[in-house]
Structure formats: C-alpha cells, structure tokens
C-alpha cells in the first residue's frame, strides 16, 4: 500500500486528508505547480486531489499513466475535463453536500447585511463619519423571501428564514407538494415568486437554460424595491440587467458572492455601486466546510482504490467492457430523451418515470440507461445530478422510477428501443426513441402520440399546430426573414385535418421575439425551443 500515491495539487485541508494517510497511502501535497512540473509530479500517482485552481485537462491526464481517480474537494468540477476522464477510464469524484450549510449561512448573512446595509455603515464609520440617518434599513419580519431552487441549500435557507418570521414562497418545478408541505414552504410559479418577493435568492445550477434566468424580463415582473441575493453561480443573474434595474430604482439592493467572470474586473460597475454588497465567492469558505469536503473526497478515493466502491462519482459508473460497448449508444439516446423531455415539461412537479425497453437493449440490465435518462431529465433541477446519483436525486424528490422489459418473442420487434413516460401533477408526457442501426445514431420516434423521426441534437423547436395548409410555408418564411436557417424539418400527424407536430432543427437558437411570432400564428398551438 505504501506504493500507492495520492498527489494533492491545491490547498486542501490537511486534516481532511487523514483517511488516506490512515489507510497507508503516500500523500504528497505540493501546491501551485504548473506545466511540466505538475505533469512530472503525477507520473507515479494513482489519485489526484484538487480544488478549483488546478486545471485537470486531457493533456494532464495523459501524462499520468497510473492515474485512476481525480477527487475535487468541493462541488463544481468545471476545472476537470470530465468527458476526457471518462474516455480514459478515470473516475471523477466530488463532495456535493460539503458546502450546503456554509453556503446557506452565507446567504443568510448577506440577506441580513442587505436589509440593514451593514457593510456600507461599517465602511462609513471606519472612515470617520457618524451617519445614522443615512443607513436606515428594513426589517425581515413579515417580508416575503422568494427562493428559486429548493435543493439542499435552498431548503436550509428556507428553514433559517422562517425562524426570522419571514414568509417563504419558492419555485422549484421538481418539488412534490407533500415535500413542500413538510418543509412548511409555499410553492408557486416562477412568475408569482418574482412578483411577490421582497427579497429574492437563487439556488439553482448554472446551465444553458438557467443562464440569465434573472434578467430584464424577470426584473420587469418584480415589485418596486426588491432586493436580490446570489450565492449560487455567476451567470444566473444578468449583471447588465441588474445594473439597469438598480439605476432605475426597481432593485433597492443586491448582494453578490458570485460573478459571471471571476475575479470580476476592477472597474466592474456593480461592485462600485453603494446599493451592492459583494464578496469574493466565499459561500464555501469556512474551516468546517473545507475540512468536510476534503474528508469526504479522501474517504471516497480510499474506498475506490481499495475496493472499487464508487461513491460521489460524477461520470459514468463502472461497467464491464462488453456491457459498456453494448449500452453506450442507448445511454446517449436516453440522456438526450431526458433532456428533451425536461424542456417540454410545464411547471408541474414530476411524480413518476416509467421506461420500457424492447429489442436488443432489453437483453441487458438497462439500469445504466435508466440512470442516463434521469440524469438528463433532472439536470436543470440539481447541480449534482449525474448517472451515478440519478436514482438518489429522484428518490429525494419523491419521484417513483420503474423499468420494464419486452424481450424477444413478446412483440418487441414492433416496439421502439426506449419508451419513456414522465407522469406529472398535470398529466403524462411520452417520448420514444430507437437506434437508427445497431450502435448508430439515436433518434426520437414518437412524442405524445405523434410519430416523428429526428436526431435529438443541437437547436430545435417543437411545434404543434392544426393540420391546415400554409403552416410550413409561414414558419419557413418567418424564420428566413429573421435570418434563421432551417437545417431539417421533421413532420408528424395523427390524422389528416387534425393536429400535426413538427421538429424544426435550426443553425442557431431562436430569440424569444421569433418564438412569440411563431406562436402568434393562429393555427399554432404551441412552439417551444429545445437545446441539446
């Protein structure tokens, strides 16, 4: 065991590394290394521990022939090329829950500081001024706190804020009504949360769909004098739109721990505003949190290297070579179907997921495929969801997941490889898909009873309309006039003269204005953009 070496490249808590040392691993910690010096240090290492400073690239992995696992002492793995790690058979681990309490507490600290203007008052007093009348604040008691995202951090914030006698209203499309009741939290649509909040805090992952979530349109729906807190991810709040809202008096104040670019430029206009409180991404910066995430990752790496146990992994779970070769195309298709389905869903909470397998895939244990569908479906709900923990996330949300198999001789030759049903409080959504040929591209073959064939990739618009002449021409003309090129146009209908569905693939995403123009065409029932 003394020959198994773990290299620690960033400033990770020494106390947190004790599980590795106690198990007999050689732990070498050297921080700040770059380039060839770092690559040379990894030559004989089985494990690598990093925080956010070291960039774990494909090139770096290739320089470490014995490397088996990369551990991130924290939540985000943006500095690790996870796809490259998976392709090289490396496990990537993180500590998804290590910063829950400390980030929630920092959110509350900023909430109180924002209400009472504490940093501004402290700075004024330190500069020799006594300005009691200038820094009149507001009480939190009786105010409405809007929470966008009721994951682990959002739930802790809700509980702490409730003890301050605040009214809590939250938006999370994946939370079950009974879970919200247990949390003593009122849930509502995003529009309603925005319009009712005196204070608004965001706790969602940063994805293509959530980037700029709090932008001009969102600010327009908020009440005058609202206050904004963001301790989640830079980019969730449109900083230019926030600056405009502050200048116009719509937003009375903002507390930001994260920024679109970190560190932000010295002349960042928001930081210089008196209405803004800013901290340098301190959400996870407590002694306890840093020790906790290091300890968690150390335990996970120890168990994996000693027994092969996988906990806290963020990439593909261990599969035999043959099984992985057979299932990988179906896993890719399933994740795309999950992402597609998630973007078609309305705000109703997901209660159940059913997947039926038929044909070749039904001859295998398709649990990895089910995980891939759930990871795609739930990705925008939780920053930590992946194919390893997808079942756990679904269980936490009260989502029942079942899989069934139609094997050879049971009519499976007439069925798509995957048929997925997502049951929500508002109804059922059905998507089906198949491989074009064995091991080939996956395709959507059905959406809610409409038989249609399309490869789920890129920029897509799903449109349902009355089956009348002129719709295709009108859509093509509208997109052409707006400079949007159509790469493929897929059509399906149930019966002539009824309803039709189209999947329109475009070279670039549509703006909200173009989407609204499509929706304004009388035969169009709905049009929704999908990004894969």
Catalytic residue among 116, 281, 354, 459: 281
Six-digit token string for 81: 């090329």
334: three-class secondary structure by DSSP: helix
Known active-site residue 39: no
Sheet holding 486-493, edge to edge: 486-493, 499-506, 459-466, 524-531
Catalytic residue among 72, 106, 227, 233: 233
Place of tokens 């890719």: 332
Contact 519, 504 (CB under 8 A): no
DSSP 346: -
Place of tokens 């059509």: 491
412: three-class secondary structure by DSSP: helix
Known active-site residue 262: yes
DSSP character string of 424-440: ETTEEEEEEEEESSTTS
Catalytic residue among 139, 248, 262, 288: 262
DSSP character string of 22-91: HTT-EEEE--S--HHHHHHHTTT-SEEEE-SSS-B-HHHHHT-TT--EEEESSS--TTB-HHHHHHTT-E
Residue 513's H or E segment, with its range, is helix 512-519
Distance between CA 54 and CA 68 in Å, rounded?
17
Distance between CA 521 and CA 516 in Å, rounded?
9
Burial of 351 (0-12, 13-18, 19+ CB in 10 A): middle
Known active-site residue 233: yes
Give the active site residues: 233, 262, 281
């Amino acid at each position: 065991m003394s020959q198994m070496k773990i290299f620690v490249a960033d400033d990770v808590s020494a106390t947190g590394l004790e599980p590795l040392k106690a198990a007999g691993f050689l732990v070498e910690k050297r921080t700040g290394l770059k380039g060839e010096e770092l690559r040379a240090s990894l030559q004989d290492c089985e494990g690598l521990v990093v925080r956010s400073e070291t960039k774990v690239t494909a090139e770096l992995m290739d320089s470490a022939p014995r490397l088996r696992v990369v551990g991130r002492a924290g939540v985000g793995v943006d500095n690790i090329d996870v796809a490259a790690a998976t392709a090289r058979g490396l496990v990537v681990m993180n500590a998804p829950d290590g910063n829950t309490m400390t980030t929630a507490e920092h959110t509350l600290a900023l909430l109180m500081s924002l209400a009472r203007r504490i940093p501004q008052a402290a700075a004024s007093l330190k500069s020799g001024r006594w300005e009691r009348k200038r820094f009149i604040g507001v009480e939190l008691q009786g105010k409405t706190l809007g929470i966008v995202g009721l994951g682990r951090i959002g739930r802790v914030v809700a509980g702490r804020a409730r003890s301050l006698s605040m009214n809590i209203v939250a938006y999370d499309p994946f939370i079950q009504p009974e879970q919200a009741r247990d949390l003593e939290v009122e849930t509502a649509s995003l529009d309603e949360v925005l319009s009712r909040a005196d204070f608004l805090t965001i706790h969602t992952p940063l994805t293509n769909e959530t980037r700029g979530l709090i932008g001009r349109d969102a600010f327009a729906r908020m009440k005058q004098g609202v206050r904004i807190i963001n301790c989640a991810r830079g980019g969730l709040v449109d900083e230019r739109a926030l600056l405009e809202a502050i200048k116009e008096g719509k937003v009375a104040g903002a507390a930001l721990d994260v920024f679109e670019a970190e560190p932000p430029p010295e002349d960042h206009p928001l930081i210089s505003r008196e209405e803004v409180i800013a901290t340098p991404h301190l959400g996870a910066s407590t002694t306890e949190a840093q020790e906790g995430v290091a300890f968690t990752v150390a335990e996970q790496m120890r168990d994996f290297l000693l027994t092969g146990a996988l906990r806290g992994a963020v990439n593909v779970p261990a599969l035999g070579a043959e099984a992985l070769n057979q299932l990988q195309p179906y896993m890719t298709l399933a994740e795309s179907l999950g992402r597609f389905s998630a973007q078609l869903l309305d705000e109703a909470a997901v209660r159940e997921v059913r997947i039926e397998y038929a044909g070749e895939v039904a001859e295998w244990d398709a649990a990895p495929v089910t995980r891939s569908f759930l990871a795609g479906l739930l990705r925008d709900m939780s920053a930590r969801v992946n194919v390893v923990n997808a079942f756990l996330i679904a269980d936490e949300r009260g989502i029942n997941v079942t899989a069934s198999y139609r094997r050879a001789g049971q009519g499976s030759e007439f069925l798509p490889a995957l048929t997925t049903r997502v049951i929500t409080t508002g109804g059922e959504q059905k998507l089906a898909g198949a491989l074009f040929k064995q091991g080939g591209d996956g395709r959507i073959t059905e959406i809610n009873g409409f038989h249609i064939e399309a490869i789920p990739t890129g920029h897509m618009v799903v449109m349902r309309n009355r089956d009348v002449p002129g719709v295709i021409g009108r859509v093509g003309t509208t997109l052409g006039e707006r400079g949007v090129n159509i790469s493929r146009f897929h059509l399906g209908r149930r019966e002539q003269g009824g309803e039709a569905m189209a999947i329109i693939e475009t070279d670039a995403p549509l703006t909200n204005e173009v989407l609204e123009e499509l929706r304004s065409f009388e035969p169009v029932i709905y049009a929704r953009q999908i990004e894969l």
